[in-house]
């Protein structure tokens, strides 16, 4: 955890981005570490956790990190939690809370609130269209001999 916190602090000191750092550990060894790169890369998905997950998956040659742990300087936002679930990371440790991030001016709490609402009540307009065509593609997936499940 101290490495994740060091990365978060260094990111501020170096003027590279937000105060967030993340470390992925496998069998007691750090295999990936990253700080928030949103501002530096103009990529709103470049949170420390996401960047570290990408690094770890690339290094290990897999899209599952089910034998790893994630240490992050702040409670993961909804996007990062989604990535953590997709990567199958079984344990996550965080330092600051989402409320702490909110107090520092970050939107995490508002995003959690929006996602919990039904689509018609969310600020972003979300509509379902062409469902029948999309369901047909899933049927093709289910019948495909080329699929790799994840």
Would you name the residues annotated as active-site residues?
A: 49
Q: How far apart are CA 49 and CA 72, in angstroms?
A: 7
Nearest to 47 by CA among 69, 74, 85: 74
Q: Which two tokens stand for residue 5?
A: 């916190």
Greatest alpha-carbon span in the chain: 53
Cross-strand bridge partners of residue 33: 23
Q: Which two tokens stand for residue 78?
A: 């909804």
DSSP of 71-111: EEEEPPPHHHHHHHHHHT--EEEEEE-HHHHHHTT--HHHH
């Amino acid at each position: 955890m101290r490495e994740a916190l060091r990365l978060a602090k260094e990111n501020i000191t170096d003027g590279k981005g937000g105060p967030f750092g993340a470390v992925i550990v496998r069998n007691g060894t750090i295999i990936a570490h990253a700080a928030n790169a949103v501002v530096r890369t103009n990529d709103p998905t470049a949170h420390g956790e996401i960047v570290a997950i990408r690094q770890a998956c690339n290094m290990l040659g897999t899209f599952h990190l089910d034998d790893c742990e994630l240490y992050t300087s702040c409670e993961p936002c909804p996007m990062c939690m989604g990535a953590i679930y997709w990567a199958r990371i079984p344990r996550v440790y965080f330092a600051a809370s989402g409320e702490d991030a909110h107090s520092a001016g970050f939107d995490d709490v508002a995003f959690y609130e929006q996602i919990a609402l039904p689509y018609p009540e969310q600020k972003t307009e979300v509509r379902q269209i062409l469902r029948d065509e999309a369901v047909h593609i899933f049927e093709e997936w289910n019948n495909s001999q080329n699929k790799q499940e994840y």
